[in-house]
């Protein structure tokens, strides 16, 4: 059984197609609709989800890019999923612009073949991403719908190492229980409330400094094509129909991202793909089979 947490802030029609593609009886789903998206979108999503079992909508809060509110939303989603039942084994977070490349049967087979593994990108921030250290070396304040850089320097928690990756992950229930409830995590929660873009660093730093959370794979199981974008160092390119063959052949479980307002045909083609044997029967990939389009790159700009 898989527990999903979905972040939605726009494109309700596209979200509905994603949800239908990942829905399977027995799984659990918690959906957070950003409060700033407005009541009409929230009502639309709630009406759509009402017939489905094992689905709950999390109380809406503003989830500000760059702020701890994104981490807080995810922690609240994890806690609710833990409360819903004790039978699920793995947690996956998605945005409304992601889409699966494999069926739910395949994904269950995949996790059964990889017990105890945590799929999250985690790089030593000081050694491999020193250009982002200003996200944690100085205090940031989240207030009134914006992030403010105070310029006030501060030290990282003594004895711990900062890590960085992407927002996306597929982790075990035991890690969710640890990050939500273990008192040893409180120092990270307190510290990252004052950091910039903590959704790409908080969970990585917790898991890598805990020492007993199983094997960390440095892989978020997402096919992402990072491209330059002006002042933003890298962003995920929107996939379209010309990417179909690569998406079909990928060993990743999900891809991001898609914009159905620009190209809806690619989602229709992937919906057909999800009914194919390649998307339903898990076979352990050969070494090095990981799609080369997925890079060890953060999604956000460094300040």
**Residue that has been written with the tokens 């207030």 in this structure:** 143
Q: Where are the domains of the chain?
A: 2-279
Predicted local distance difference test score (pLDDT) of residue 108? 96
Predicted local distance difference test score (pLDDT) of residue 301? 31
Hey, which CATH number is domain 2-279, 1.10.3110, 3.90.550, 1.10.3470, 3.40.50? 3.90.550
Cis amide linkage into residue 27, ω under 30° from 0: no
Do residues 235 and 226 touch, judged by C-beta distance below 8 A? yes
Per-residue pLDDT at 110 exceeds 60: yes
Who has greater pLDDT, 290 or 103?
A: 103
Predicted local distance difference test score (pLDDT) of residue 18? 98
Predicted local distance difference test score (pLDDT) of residue 286? 66
Residues 250-266 have a mean pLDDT of 95
Residues 63-80 have a mean pLDDT of 93
Closest CA to 200 of 230, 233, 228: 233
Per-residue pLDDT at 189 exceeds 70: yes
pLDDT tens figures, 127-136: 999 999 999 9
Rg, the chain, Cα only = 19
């Amino acid at each position: 059984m898989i527990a999903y947490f979905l972040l939605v802030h726009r494109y309700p029609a596209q979200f509905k197609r994603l949800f239908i593609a990942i829905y399977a009886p027995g799984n659990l789903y918690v959906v957070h609709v950003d409060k700033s998206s407005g009541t009409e979108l929230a009502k639309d999503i709630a009406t759509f989800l009402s017939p489905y079992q094992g689905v709950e909508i999390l109380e809406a809060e503003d989830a500000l890019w760059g702020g701890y509110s994104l981490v807080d939303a995810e922690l609240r989603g994890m806690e609710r999923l833990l409360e819903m039942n004790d039978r699920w084994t793995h947690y996956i977070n998605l945005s409304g612009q992601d889409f699966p490349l494999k069926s739910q049967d395949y994904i269950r087979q995949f996790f059964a073949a990889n017990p105890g593994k945590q799929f999250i990108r985690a790089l030593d921030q000081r050694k491999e991403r020193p250009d982002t250290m200003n996200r944690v070396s100085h205090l940031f304040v989240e207030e009134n719908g914006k992030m403010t850089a105070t310029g006030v320097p501060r030290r990282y928690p003594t004895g711990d190492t900062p890590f960085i990756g992407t927002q996306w992950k597929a982790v075990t229930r035991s890690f969710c229980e640890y990050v939500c409830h273990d008192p040893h995590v409180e120092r990270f929660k307190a510290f990252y409330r004052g950091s910039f873009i903590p959704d790409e660093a908080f969970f990585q730093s917790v898991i890598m400094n805990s020492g007993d959370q199983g094997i960390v794979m440095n892989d978020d199981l997402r096919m992402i094509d990072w491209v330059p974008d002006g002042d933003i160092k890298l962003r995920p390119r929107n996939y379209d129909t010309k990417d179909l063959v690569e998406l079909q052949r990928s060993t990743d479980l999900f891809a991001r991202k898609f914009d159905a307002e620009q190209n809806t045909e690619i989602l229709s083609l992937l919906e057909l793909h999800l009914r194919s044997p390649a998307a339903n029967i898990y076979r352990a990939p050969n070494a090095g089979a990981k799609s080369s389009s997925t890079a060890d790159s953060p999604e956000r700009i460094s300040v």
